Amino acid sequence: MQVKFDVEGGNFSKAGHASSQVKKILKQLNVAPKIIKSIVVALYEAEVNIVAHAYNGTIEVTIDPQKILINLSDNGPGIADISLAMQEGFSTASQEVRQMGFGAGMGLPNIKRNTDEFEIESEVGKGTKLIMTKFF
């Protein structure tokens, strides 16, 4: 099955909506709780990254009997140095976003830790694409 969500940049009141929907779907499909937990952590972080950094984006989720594949794509500033962005503690989040408790530089490491496969591609001035896979 496939589901798609639109994500609005800057709108923190809706951050987590896609993650919450995907969690519900996976529960209905009786996916193991431990797997669901990991997916929720990774997806929430990726969703919040779009809200915190991009203008808008989409999340496409494909679920088959073996795995979940999540494709996130945003229009935004992009990431100049991906290896730097992957480092624990590195963040370019605004002061406002940090005051909310986001932007601690833990998002991308959290995603990596909680997925089986994780790819990131970015073009400065255009946007960022993330593909993450978790096997059931």
Partner 1 sequence: MKVSNIIKELNLSVYGGDNGLDNEVDGGYVSDLLSDVMGNAEESQIWITLQTHRNVMAIASLKDLAAVILVNDLKPDEDMLEQANEEGIPVLGTGMTTFDVGGKLYNLLKG
Which residues lie near partner 1 (CB under 8 A)? 12-13, 15-16, 19-20, 23, 37, 40-41, 44-45, 48, 100-102, 104, 106-107, 110, 113-114
Strand-by-strand arrangement of the 56-63 sheet = 2-8, 56-63, 67-75, 127-135, 117-123
* 30, 51, 73, 103 from 94: Cα distances, Å: 39, 12, 21, 8
Work out how close the CB of 131 gets to partner 1 at its nearest, in angstroms, rounded to a whole number.
Answer: 20
* 3-class DSSP state of 40: helix
Q: Which is nearer to partner 1, 80 or 100 (CB)?
A: 100
Q: Which is nearer to partner 1, 18 or 66 (CB)?
A: 18
Work out how close the CB of 12 gets to partner 1 at its nearest, in angstroms, rounded to a whole number.
Answer: 6
H-type alpha helices, the chain: 17-28, 33-53, 82-85, 95-99, 107-113
Work out how close the CB of 62 gets to partner 1 at its nearest, in angstroms, rounded to a whole number.
Answer: 21
Q: Which is nearer to partner 1, 23 or 74 (CB)?
A: 23
